[in-house]
Amino acid sequence: MNNRLEEIRKQRGIKQEELAAALEVSRQTIGSLENGRYNPSILLAFRIARFFGMSIEEIFIYEEDDRV
């Protein structure tokens, strides 16, 4: 799964650390998501989407062959 996290975060002019604080997760979690090391839990995805005022689908890009 791809995502537009880094792009959206930079549009808003905020740092990984600030986003992490706002979402109450670690900075490493944000970095790991931005660099595709893993996918967010659905709860974190909701919190990210809500923080940016967007839908999950606008931020996280599901690809047909993504397996559970």
Residues in contact with DNA by the rule CB under 7 A: 6, 15-17, 24-29, 31-35, 37-41, 43-44, 68
How many Å apart are CA 12 and CA 41, to the nearest integer? 23
HSE toward the beta carbon, residue 67, CA cutoff 13 A: 0
Q: Mask 9-48, x = binds its own copies (CB under 8 A)?
A: --------------xxx-------------xxxxxxxxx-
Q: Which is nearer to its own copies, 36 or 42 (CB)?
A: 42
How many Å apart are CA 2 and CA 11, to the nearest integer? 18
Question: Least distance to its own copies from the beta carbon of 9, Å?
Answer: 17
Partnered with residue 61 across adjacent β-strands are 2
